[in-house]
A = this chain, B = another copy of it.
């Protein structure tokens, strides 16, 4: 069974298809839900590990349906999310003579999805991209909403473009091969949606005994988690495609999260782990400021612990250094740091006036 979620973005509208084993039905999904046709040459962009697991079957399904599609394998890992690596996609696009009607298929996690999306946004001033996320993080976040980009040597995602996919294909079966640490990282974003947007998702997560690995989740509940998370992202993005306002609430946990990731050189803490600590911090700020109840903050902490995600800041991190990094964050608006704080389970709001001193105290308190 395939669940379809519509992303209502006018001329950029598209669908998200979610279902066990649907990766093999890709050509039928393309035919039914997109204007894309096998006429023009296409690329599947992936990395060697993902390709070994799922590349051949996707490639064969497309080929059998008449697509002239060539693999383009990139090195795995966030440190390769650069313009240099995107140039490899450009080179393949040139070799295969991609045309304006061509398609890039992104088969992989967030790094592959972001780079393939950026290449699609900028090759011939924009060609089609289909996202086939293989990590939990990419399924519930990166693959949806049209944010694409690469890192600058001095900052993440500083170079990028908005470019919506034509279709997102989410097959939970591929999570079987996802490393457990990456599964947990994705769960941080799922918890985020529960806290700032969807109280029912929060309840669903609260009822599950474990959130730290795929094998611990019943298939039906996993599908529900994916569907509700995608719907949450779609709800927000479709109201604010270009991040003029509301979309900022998706940055809950990310302001401090980005600083933590950066201080750990993107290795000590991965994105989801840093966001988990960032949510703990934002939750405490919200409680201190009187916007949120201590009970709600405790319920959030319980979910983060069930997902075996960290809740404290590494002891050797310098709090003043973290505060300085907050000032560098690209969400800076006229030199003020913006925070997203929860005001109820299932509801977050944007706050621009959180006192620096309070942030400092909270960070110190969270140090292990």
Contact = CB atoms under 8 A, between A and B. Distances in A.
A159 B90 contact: yes
Interface in A100-150: 100-101, 121-126, 147, 149
A52 interface: no
A125 B100 contact: no
A99 B333 CA distance: 7
A242 B160 CA distance: 19
A147 B126 CA distance: 11
B160 A330 contact: no
B160 A125 contact: yes
A100 B336 CA distance: 13
Contacts of A39: 334
Interface in A331-345: 332-334
24 contacts: A83-B83, A83-B87, A90-B152, A90-B159, A94-B152, A94-B154, A97-B328, A99-B332, A99-B333, A101-B333, A101-B334, A121-B161, A122-B160, A122-B161, A124-B160, A125-B147, A125-B149, A125-B160, A125-B162, A125-B243, A126-B161, A126-B162, A126-B242, A161-B161
Interface in A161-220: 161-162
B90 A124 contact: no
A30 interface: no
A245 interface: no
Given A94-B154, A121-B161, A124-B160, 14 more contacts: A40-B334, A90-B152, A90-B159, A94-B155, A97-B332, A100-B333, A101-B333, A123-B158, A123-B159, A124-B330, A125-B149, A125-B162, A126-B162, A126-B242
A112 to B, nearest CB: 18
A83 B159 CA distance: 12
